[in-house]
Amino acid sequence: MKKLLLILPLFSCLYMQAQVKVGDNPATINTNSLLEMESSNKGFLPPRVALNSFSSVSPLSGTVPAGMLVFSSGGTLTDGFYYWDGTEWKKLANGNENLVTKTATATLLKSETIVLASNDIVLTLPVVTSADNGLQVTVKNNGTYTDQVTVKGNGSATIDGSDSVNITRFVGHTFIASGGNWVIKGNKKINEHLLDINPNSSWTSISEAIEFLALHMTAPAVIRLSDETFDISTTIEIDLPFDLTIQGVSYGTATLSAATGLTGKPMFRCLSACYFKMLNFDATSLANYGTAAGEDAIRFLGSGSYNEVKDCSFDRFYNTILDSTDAELWVFETDISNSQGSGILVHGAVPGVIVKVAETDFIGCNYGINLSKGSGAIIQLASGGYYNGNSGDTAIFYQPANFTSYTSISITGNSWNNTGKYIEGFDFTRSDGRDANVIMESNAGVGDANPSCTINVLNSATTTTVTTSNTWYKASWTNTGSTTTKWTIANNRITYQPNNRRNGWIIISGNLSCNNANRTISIGIVKNGSTGTRYGETTLRITTSGQPFQFSTVVNLADIAPGDYFELYCTSLNSFDVVTFQDILWLTNSK
């Protein structure tokens, strides 16, 4: 009996070491439990300690095994459950973090772990050391589309190597303490100068983004539109301190549509540098919009600004693009359709406008490009397609009465559908050379405007006397007719008008007679009155007096400069010979 009594306590002790249950129903325990607690009205109260460092076991001592669980209260670490992972304390997830709201600039506490912020404020993260490694603070901008919350480190502490991070509406970041500095959870690179526009972004419209930039812009920025249609009901004015790009995600996916409220107004007014890329502009979405003056797509108004339109399409605006100052405008790879006024209208009182258009098609426009008003302009139109819709349309229209001067105009490599008018307003026959510096070459549907001229003399009786033998005298005659492109013609003199140098050639044929028989008469082209050098010199042997003798000469002209002039001269081996140039055919061309 004594042996039995000794065995029972020993067996009971072994059983208690295997499984222990505390609380209600002590006889019922899960077979997998080493320790089980059950109660309908009591809780588990773990040990309370004050943790002051993630990396120190204190106030525990010695070697603390991984998995040790405590509840920190009153220490510098945020109150809560922590477990030791072998090297540092890890805070258990807490569904009831310390949520605070900030509407004014402040320095955060370590205990303020979730922050909802609004207004234009600066939040400074708490001071941390290596002992705080792992501390997390989440900040979310819960304000309006113009609010910008700036988060910065305390003192010299950085955030992913930067002094601060800006957070816009609906955006949140979790900042993790690391070695006395902070890193952003997820390590996602933040481009603060890229503003995405979509229903779930910080900004849902272009107007919201521009209003935000007007308050916070510090560098050139990009507004990127999602693949959808954006209604424009009021004019968007852009006047920012840095360049702005407005673009779609890819070609043809984002559309800007005229909407109620835009009647009689342009869609955009750009007073600062703007780039529009990969966008569709649609005026047809609003009944009759684009049929009245003022209903334009883009007006560039910023003096001295640089602007671009690239990979865009436009449909049925009045003036699709208007440059009304000295702004520089480049238009590339764009389609402009059904402009009721002009596809591109250049109309400004400020000298120095620059407009360059390349690989752009004008389809069914009243005027494709309208050079209406300007001075000191640089115009370059290259490789475009002009597809007029009816006989009243004009592809390129130059109005010199108000477009009074230019530095250069180049119109090259364009094509036309032979409907309506092509290139109008230029006059290359003028003696004052007003349009002499316009380069118009290789345009399908119209001849090149290279410098060229012709002179015709028929049955002239005007004589030239060779007073002294072997001395050269300018031939005298009166032109019967002439044609010219960029040359000034004054009987026996042609003067080169353009500023750009060219090579060229002269072909002259005709007949002349001499008042004496058995004479040797020489002719040649003289440049700028310098008879010491003659070009295309030819000698005729006159056997019969008064009998016309035919001649012909070809002259190659190298590097013709502005103001160079050319004349036909003659001489004789005998003094006082009288020469009559009866008929002349003179052709000059250049390349």
Q: Which of 449, 482, 513 is the last residue of a domain?
A: 449
pLDDT greater than 70 at residue 290: yes
Query: In degrees to the nearest 10, what's the CA dihedral of 141, 146, 151, 155?
Result: -150
pLDDT computed for residue 32 by the predictor: 75
- Which letter, b or e, does each residue of 379-403 get, where b requires 16 or more Cβ atoms within 10 Å of its Cβ? bbbbebbbbbeeeebbbbbbbeeeb
| Within a domain: 543 | yes
Other residues' Cβ atoms within 10 Å of the Cβ of residue 357: 27
Element (H, E) at 12: helix 2-18
The verdict on 480 and 558 lying in the same domain is: yes
Lowest mean pLDDT, pick from 19-23, 79-83, 201-205:
19-23
- Spatial contact of 517 and 504, defined as CB atoms under 8 Å apart: no
CA 348 to chain centre: 22
Q: Using only C-alpha atoms, what is the Rg of the chain?
A: 44
- Spatial contact of 320 and 346, defined as CB atoms under 8 Å apart: no
Question: How far is CA 97 from each of CA 85, 185, 293, 590, rounded to the nearest angstrom?
Answer: 22, 17, 60, 84
The verdict on 491 and 467 lying in the same domain is: yes
| Within a domain: 378 | yes
Query: Percentage of residues in the chain with pLDDT exceeding 90?
Result: 81
The verdict on 458 and 541 lying in the same domain is: yes
pLDDT computed for residue 1 by the predictor: 45
The stretch 473-487 carries a mean pLDDT of 98
pLDDT computed for residue 7 by the predictor: 44
Direct distance between the N- and C-terminal alpha carbons of the chain, in angstroms, rounded to an integer: 133
pLDDT greater than 60 at residue 326: yes
Question: How far is CA 285 from each of CA 207, 232, 254, 344, 471, rounded to the nearest angstrom?
Answer: 19, 10, 14, 21, 79
The verdict on 417 and 445 lying in the same domain is: yes
| Within a domain: 80 | no
| Within a domain: 314 | no
For residue 91, what pLDDT band results from cuts at 50, 70 and 90? confident
Token digits of residue 113: 């772990």
Count of helix runs (H) and strand runs (E) in the chain: 2, 53
The verdict on 423 and 500 lying in the same domain is: no
pLDDT computed for residue 124 by the predictor: 97
| Within a domain: 396 | yes
Token digits of residue 135: 């501390």
pLDDT computed for residue 70 by the predictor: 87
Per-residue pLDDT of 506-540, as tens digits, reads: 999 999 999 999 999 999 999 999 999 999 999 99
Question: How far is CA 329 from each of CA 61, 214, 228, 248, 308, rounded to the nearest angstrom?
Answer: 74, 23, 27, 20, 6
For residue 5, what pLDDT band results from cuts at 50, 70 and 90? very low
pLDDT computed for residue 93 by the predictor: 62
| Length of the chain (residues) | 591
Distance CA 349, CA 404 (A): 10
pLDDT greater than 60 at residue 373: yes
The stretch 562-585 carries a mean pLDDT of 98
The stretch 367-380 carries a mean pLDDT of 97
Question: How far is CA 165 from each of CA 21, 188, 196, rounded to the nearest angstrom?
Answer: 52, 12, 18
| Within a domain: 325 | no
Spatial CB neighbours of 22, under 8 Å, sequence gap ≥ 6:
35, 36, 37, 38
Distance CA 521, CA 467 (A): 13
The verdict on 530 and 569 lying in the same domain is: yes
Q: Which of 409, 434, 449 is the last residue of a domain?
A: 449
Alpha carbons within 13 A on the beta-carbon side of 84 = 19
- Spatial contact of 137 and 99, defined as CB atoms under 8 Å apart: no
Q: Is the pTM of this model over 0.85?
A: no
The verdict on 581 and 465 lying in the same domain is: yes
Distance CA 154, CA 167 (A): 17
For residue 187, what pLDDT band results from cuts at 50, 70 and 90? low
The verdict on 32 and 160 lying in the same domain is: no
The verdict on 16 and 145 lying in the same domain is: no
Average pLDDT taken over every residue of the chain: 92
The verdict on 147 and 253 lying in the same domain is: no
Distance CA 304, CA 307 (A): 10
Distance CA 425, CA 447 (A): 15
The verdict on 583 and 494 lying in the same domain is: yes
Distance CA 410, CA 379 (A): 6
Q: What are phi and psi of 50, to 5 degrees?
A: -110, 100
The verdict on 456 and 444 lying in the same domain is: no
* Number of domains forming the structure of the chain: 5
| Within a domain: 324 | no
Q: Which of 244, 273, 303 is the last residue of a domain?
A: 303
Distance CA 132, CA 155 (A): 16
Structure-token match 């600004």, residue found: 305
Give the CATH number of the domain where residue 509 resides.
2.60.120.40
- In the DSSP assignment, the letter for residue 131 is G
Token digits of residue 85: 């992972």
Question: How far is CA 259 from each of CA 248, 251, 288, rounded to the nearest angstrom?
Answer: 19, 22, 11
pLDDT computed for residue 250 by the predictor: 92
Per-residue pLDDT of 425-449, as tens digits, reads: 999 999 999 999 999 999 999 999 9
| Within a domain: 56 | no
pLDDT computed for residue 15 by the predictor: 45
Give the CATH number of the domain where residue 205 resides.
2.160.20.10
Domain encompassing residue 36: 1-44
Per-residue pLDDT of 153-184, as tens digits, reads: 999 999 999 999 999 999 999 999 999 999 99
